[in-house]
């Protein structure tokens, strides 16, 4: 059997404003040295799938560069990972929806003649042994399999909610319902789609072509899945049953949609816990990314009497960082960050190349790439003052964008 992987990586990430003004959501930095898309790409390569197409759209240059630098597969073994921009073979604009993105690339899928086609999103944080989903799909004789996960009813309002029978066959699907239907065994939880689909090729071609002729949103969740339920065999693969080499029990079912500033900040901060749910140090299931030629991180001890001691607690400090005095606490430093003397940074995310001057005080902030923070600046301590200069989220996370 042959499998082809299609990663939908064109998300604009409008709810992540202002961080996604000039980058697409899949290349948002995460955990210091990674990009969000590295997680789904690592899941597939770790699972033994090496024919991968990444469909881009908004701000595509950064994701194309990231993949060209960090994700070279062996062409001699017929392995590849290619990025594909809208070809405009059909129509004269961008993709109208997730289903339209696949429709406009049916010729590429056809040329590979796969038996199965994975259609996964590129903007979620999780680990997954995808081969187990394929095994389940074949065992069930499914036409389409969705990976699903139970979440709270409140969170489910923003997701596609799935209803299944006792054999895990999908009997209902509603996108973003006002009143999500709870799971029979857990009345405070609903079963939701992770946005990851596995199609038989012939079924994919049939439903995509039919949808193209309709006046619809041309989206899998909004337009296609609910229309397939009565005619096709659609099954739910429970992500809670998934496991991989080196998995720790606390990681079971971890899946995060970093769709807002608050969820993005929270997911990063959880990595600073002593034993976080998401283990980035598991060499049996590594998360790979582009390698850049940075030196090791450096902590400068200059003068203890003056307080010029560079130190970090409960933090992730990436390669190439210099903590030249100052205290970093529960924070994530991406590559090339510099913290100067007498500064204090806590509960914050500093992206690549950020420079923090002397005597700064920063808390609960996200500072974008290459931003310079002038000496004596305070961020996160007076939100009324911060709102006049920066973007502040609903829960009080201060975002210092590149233009600020």
Pick the CATH number of 3-270 from 3.40.50.880, 3.40.50.2000, 3.90.550.10, 2.10.77.10: 3.90.550.10
Residues 6+ apart with CB under 8 A from 203: 143, 144, 232
pLDDT at 279: 95
Q: For 383, left (φ over 0), alpha (ψ -120 to 50), or beta? A: alpha
| Inter-CA distances, 152 with 63, 149, 186, 269, Å | 32, 10, 10, 21
Average pLDDT for 325-340? 96
Strands (E), 204-249: 234-238
pLDDT at 38: 97
> Model confidence at 88, in pLDDT bands (50, 70, 90)?
low
pLDDT at 307: 61
pLDDT at 92: 59
Task: Quick: pLDDT tens for 8-18.
Answer: 997 777 889 99
Average pLDDT along the chain = 92
Return the percentage of the chain with pLDDT > 70, whole number.
96
In sequence order, which ranges of 2-117 are alpha helices (DSSP H)?
A: 37-46, 60-70, 98-103, 106-112
For residues 89 and 49, the model is more confident at 49
pLDDT at 15: 86
Instruction: Say which CATH architecture domain 298-400 belongs to.
Output: 3 Solenoid (2.160)
Task: Locate the domains of the chain by residue range.
Answer: 3-270, 298-400
Poorest-pLDDT segment among 53-62, 155-164, 273-282, 334-343: 53-62
């Amino acid at each position: 059997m042959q499998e082809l992987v299609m990663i939908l990586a064109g998300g604009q990430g409008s709810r992540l404003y202002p961080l996604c003004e000039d980058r697409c959501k899949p290349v948002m930095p995460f955990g210091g040295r990674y990009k969000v898309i590295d997680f789904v790409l690592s899941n597939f390569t770790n699972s033994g799938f090496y024919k991968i197409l990444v469909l881009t759209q908004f701000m595509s240059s950064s994701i194309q560069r990231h993949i060209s630098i960090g994700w070279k597969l062996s062409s001699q073994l017929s392995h590849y990972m290619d990025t594909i921009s809208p070809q405009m073979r059909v129509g004269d604009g961008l993709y109208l929806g997730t289903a339209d993105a696949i429709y406009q690339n049916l010729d590429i899928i056809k040329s590979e003649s796969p038996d199965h086609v994975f259609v996964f999103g590129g903007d979620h944080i999780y680990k997954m042994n995808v081969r187990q989903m394929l095994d389940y799909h074949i065992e069930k004789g499914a036409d389409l399999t969705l990976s699903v996960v139970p979440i709270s009813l409140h969170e489910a309002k923003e997701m596609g909610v799935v209803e299944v029978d006792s054999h895990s066959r999908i009997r209902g699907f509603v996108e973003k319902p006002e009143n999500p239907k709870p799971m029979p065994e857990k009345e405070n939880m609903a079963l939701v789609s992770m946005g990851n689909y596995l199609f038989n090729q012939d079924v994919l071609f049939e439903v995509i072509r039919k949808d193209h002729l309709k006046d619809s949103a041309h989206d899998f969740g909004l337009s296609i899945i609910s229309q397939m339920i009565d005619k096709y065999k659609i099954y739910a693969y429970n992500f809670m049953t998934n496991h991989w080499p080196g998995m720790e029990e606390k990681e079971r079912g971890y899946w995060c949609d970093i769709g807002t500033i608050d969820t993005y900040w929270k997911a990063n901060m959880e990595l600073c816990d002593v034993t976080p749910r998401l283990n980035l140090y598991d060499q049996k299931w590594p998360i790979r990314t582009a390698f850049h030629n940075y030196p090791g991180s450096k902590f400068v001890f200059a003068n203890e009497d003056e307080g010029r001691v560079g130190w970090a607690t409960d933090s992730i400090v990436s390669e190439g960082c210099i903590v030249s005095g100052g205290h970093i606490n529960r924070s994530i430093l991406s590559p090339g960050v510099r913290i100067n003397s007498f500064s204090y940074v806590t509960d914050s995310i500093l992206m690549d190349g950020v420079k923090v001057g002397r005597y700064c005080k920063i808390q609960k902030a996200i500072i974008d790439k290459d931003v310079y923070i002038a000496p004596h600046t305070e961020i996160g301590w007076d939100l009324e003052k911060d709102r006049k200069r920066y973007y502040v989220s609903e829960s009080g996370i201060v975002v210092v964008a590149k233009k600020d």
